[in-house]
């Protein structure tokens, strides 16, 4: 995968001193044992020119069915299927509809009208997965979007999509938040969605997110929460909804207090929504267990006996 355009972008913006060392982390990621296998799939994806694109529809849409032959359509679908599981989406690529595990458009629609306008803003999406929300951020007017995610398959999926619109100023880097240079203070908006509960130290994560933001920049923080008062936090003993690495699930009031302690201002809780199988479910493109298999029959608890997933979105300013 070629990131020369990303480093050209950093050079143009005068950001090489802040973010240039990411080339070392990218090289480390590309030493992963599955890298060559994934790249071989990318090389087989047909080269096509889209007649249409839409980053503001529920399904990120690039190309139309009549842009390609039947043989090209079947080859494209075959190679995209070779990259399952597709977690975030949906996507419509030249008529191939990728019905992902998550209807990520639900989350975007819950938060998009509460954001400061993204027009001309430099955006960081932490834990971006395959970049679905990055495309929506670009569609909302961001000048450039940088996603980071340590899972190489997600990054390859993103690059499969971007191969059809290579000049768009959006990238997903195979980098975890731990590998990001601290205290860069270059981003206008930072998103962290579905990450906080995977961090062993939520305060370290919150302060790190703050260090990426310019003064006056905006943080969008989405995470699991529980019902309860200030100070209440669930610490799962082992797994939560079959997930191993879930460490802290605070109440909304507790999370608000954490953000205040970290020095954020204008803190707004804009949404709390129970996750349902309409939003997260197994599909042809993610055919293994999903939410329904992780809950009790009445859907009120996880199979471990904890409260069923409920997610909150906070927006605040540095």
Q: Where are the domains of the chain?
A: 4-317
Segment holding 124, helix H or strand E: strand 122-126
pLDDT at 182 over 90: no
Tell me the pLDDT tens digit for each residue of 248-304: 999 999 999 999 999 999 999 999 999 999 999 999 999 999 999 999 999 999 999
pLDDT at 164 over 90: yes
Confidence of residue 172 (pLDDT cuts 50, 70, 90): very high
CB 119, CB 104: distance < 8 Å: no
Sequence-ordered alpha helix ranges (H) in the chain: 4-13, 16-19, 22-29, 35-44, 70-81, 104-111, 132-139, 152-162, 202-212, 252-261
Q: How many residues does the chain have?
A: 318
Confidence of residue 1 (pLDDT cuts 50, 70, 90): confident
Distances (CA, A) of 241 to 274, 277, 299: 14, 13, 11
- Give the model's pLDDT for residue 119: 97
Instruction: Calculate Rg over the CA atoms of the chain.
Output: 19
Fold of 4-317: Rossmann fold (3.40.50)
- 302: its two tokens: 């996880």
- Give the model's pLDDT for residue 303: 97
- Give the model's pLDDT for residue 35: 85
- pLDDT above 70 as % of the chain: 100
CB 208, CB 187: distance < 8 Å: no
Q: How big, in percent rounded to 5, are the helix, strand and coil portions of the chain?
A: 35, 25, 40
The rounded distance, in Å, linking the Cα atoms of 211 and 155 is 24
What is this structure's pTM? 0.97
- Give the model's pLDDT for residue 30: 86
Distances (CA, A) of 129 to 48, 97, 195, 301: 24, 18, 11, 26
Tell me the pLDDT tens digit for each residue of 63-110: 999 999 999 999 999 999 999 999 999 999 999 999 999 999 999 999
CB 75, CB 69: distance < 8 Å: no
The rounded distance, in Å, linking the Cα atoms of 244 and 90 is 26
Mapped onto helix, strand or coil, the DSSP state of residue 66 is helix
Q: CA torsion sign, 74 to 84 to 285 to 103?
A: negative
pLDDT at 122 over 90: yes
Confidence of residue 130 (pLDDT cuts 50, 70, 90): very high
Confidence of residue 33 (pLDDT cuts 50, 70, 90): confident
């Amino acid at each position: 995968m070629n990131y020369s355009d990303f480093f050209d972008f950093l050079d143009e913006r005068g950001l090489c001193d802040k973010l240039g060392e990411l080339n070392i982390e990218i090289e480390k990621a590309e030493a992963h044992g599955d890298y060559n296998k994934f790249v071989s799939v990318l090389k087989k994806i047909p080269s096509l020119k889209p007649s249409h694109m839409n980053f503001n529809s529920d399904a990120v849409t690039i190309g139309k069915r009549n842009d390609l032959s039947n043989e090209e359509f079947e080859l494209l679908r075959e190679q995209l299927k070779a990259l399952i599981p597709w977690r975030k989406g949906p996507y419509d690529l030249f008529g191939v509809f990728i019905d992902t595990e998550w209807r990520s458009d639900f989350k975007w629609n819950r938060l998009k009208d509460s954001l400061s306008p993204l027009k001309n803003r430099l955006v960081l999406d932490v834990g971006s997965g395959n970049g679905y929300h990055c495309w929506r951020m670009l569609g909302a007017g961001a000048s450039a979007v940088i996603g980071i995610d340590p899972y190489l398959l997600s990054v390859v999926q993103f690059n499969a999509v971007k191969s059809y619109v290579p000049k768009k100023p959006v990238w997903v880097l195979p980098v975890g938040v731990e590998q990001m240079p601290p205290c860069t203070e270059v981003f206008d908006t930072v998103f962290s969605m579905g990450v906080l509960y995977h961090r062993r130290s939520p305060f370290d994560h919150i302060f790190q997110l703050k260090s990426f933001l310019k003064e006056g920049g905006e943080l969008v923080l989405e995470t699991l929460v529980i019902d309860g008062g200030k100070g209440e936090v669930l610490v799962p003993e082992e797994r939560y909804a079959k997930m191993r690495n879930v460490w802290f699930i605070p109440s909304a009031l507790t999370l608000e207090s954490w953000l205040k302690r970290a020095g954020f201002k204008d803190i707004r809780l804009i949404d709390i929504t129970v996750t349902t199988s309409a939003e997260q479910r197994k599909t042809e493109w993610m055919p293994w267990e999903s939410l329904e298999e992780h809950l009790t029959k009445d859907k009120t608890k996880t199979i471990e006996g904890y409260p069923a997933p409920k997610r909150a979105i906070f927006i605040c300013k540095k």
